[in-house]
Amino acid sequence: MNTFGKRLKLSTAIFALSVGAVQAADVEVLHWWTSGGEAAALNVLKQDLESQDIGWQDMPVAGGGGEQAMTVLRARVTAGDAPTAVQMLGFDILDWGNQGALANLNDVAAQEGWDAVVPDALKAFAKVDGKWVSAPVNVHSTNWVWANKSVLDANGIAVPKTWDEFVAAVEKLNAAGVTPIAHGGQAWQDATVFDAVAMSTGGPEFYKAAFIDLDEEALGSDTMKEAFDRMSFIRANVDDNFSGRDWNLATAMVINGEAGFQMMGDWAKGEFLNAGKVPGEDFLCFRFPDTANQVTFNADQFAMFDQGGVVSAEQAALASAILSPSFQSAFNVVKGSVPARTDVSDEAFDACGKAGMKDLAAAAASNNLFGSMAHGHANPASVKNAIYDVVTAHFNGEYDSATAVEELVDAVSIAQ
CATH number at residue 291: 3.40.190.10
Enclosing domain of residue 97? 3-139+299-353
Q: For residue 360, tell me if it sits in a domain.
A: no
If asked whether residues 336 and 408 sit together in one domain, one would say: no
Q: Which of 353, 373, 390 corresponds to the end of one domain?
A: 353
Q: For residue 49, tell me if it sits in a domain.
A: yes
**What amino acid occupies position 156?**
G
pLDDT at residue 17, as a whole number: 32
Return the axis-axis angle of helices 401-415 and 222-235, rounded to nearest 10°: 120
Judged by DSSP in three states, 136 sits in strand
If asked whether residues 239 and 376 sit together in one domain, one would say: yes
Q: For residue 359, tell me if it sits in a domain.
A: no
pLDDT at residue 6, as a whole number: 44
Q: What is the pLDDT along the chain (416 residues), one digit of tens a residue?
A: 544 344 444 433 333 333 333 245 789 999 999 888 888 888 998 998 898 889 999 999 988 778 899 999 999 999 999 999 999 999 999 999 999 999 999 999 999 999 999 988 899 999 999 999 999 999 999 999 999 999 999 999 999 999 999 999 999 999 999 999 999 999 999 999 999 999 999 999 999 999 999 999 999 999 999 999 999 999 999 999 999 999 999 999 999 999 999 999 999 998 999 899 999 999 999 999 999 989 999 999 999 999 888 899 999 999 999 999 999 999 999 888 999 998 999 999 999 999 999 998 888 889 899 999 999 999 999 999 999 999 999 999 999 999 999 999 999 999 99
pLDDT at residue 15, as a whole number: 33
If asked whether residues 210 and 156 sit together in one domain, one would say: yes
**pTM for the complete prediction?**
0.84
- CA–CA separation, 346 and 325 (whole Å): 11
**Secondary structure element (H or E) that encloses residue 148, with its range:** strand 144-148
User: 389: closest CA among 191, 143, 185?
Assistant: 191
Q: For residue 387, tell me if it sits in a domain.
A: yes
If asked whether residues 170 and 264 sit together in one domain, one would say: yes
Judged by DSSP in three states, 322 sits in helix
Say which DSSP state 158 is in.
Answer: P
If asked whether residues 175 and 254 sit together in one domain, one would say: yes
If asked whether residues 19 and 56 sit together in one domain, one would say: yes
If asked whether residues 258 and 407 sit together in one domain, one would say: yes
pLDDT at residue 4, as a whole number: 38
Give Cα 285 distance to the centre of its chain: 16
Please, how many CA atoms are within 13 Å of residue 44, restricted to the half-sphere of its CB?
Answer: 20
Beta strands 27-31; 85-88: pairing state: parallel
If asked whether residues 132 and 279 sit together in one domain, one would say: no
- CA–CA separation, 151 and 176 (whole Å): 10
If asked whether residues 112 and 26 sit together in one domain, one would say: yes
Q: For residue 270, tell me if it sits in a domain.
A: yes
User: 334: closest CA among 274, 293, 250, 401?
Assistant: 274
If asked whether residues 148 and 51 sit together in one domain, one would say: no
If asked whether residues 281 and 195 sit together in one domain, one would say: yes
Instruction: Please report which residue ranges of 155-238 form alpha helices under DSSP H.
Output: 163-175, 187-207, 216-219, 222-235
Number of domains in the chain: 2
CA distances from 255 to 213, 259, 261, 278, 314 (A): 38, 8, 10, 11, 39
If asked whether residues 17 and 87 sit together in one domain, one would say: yes
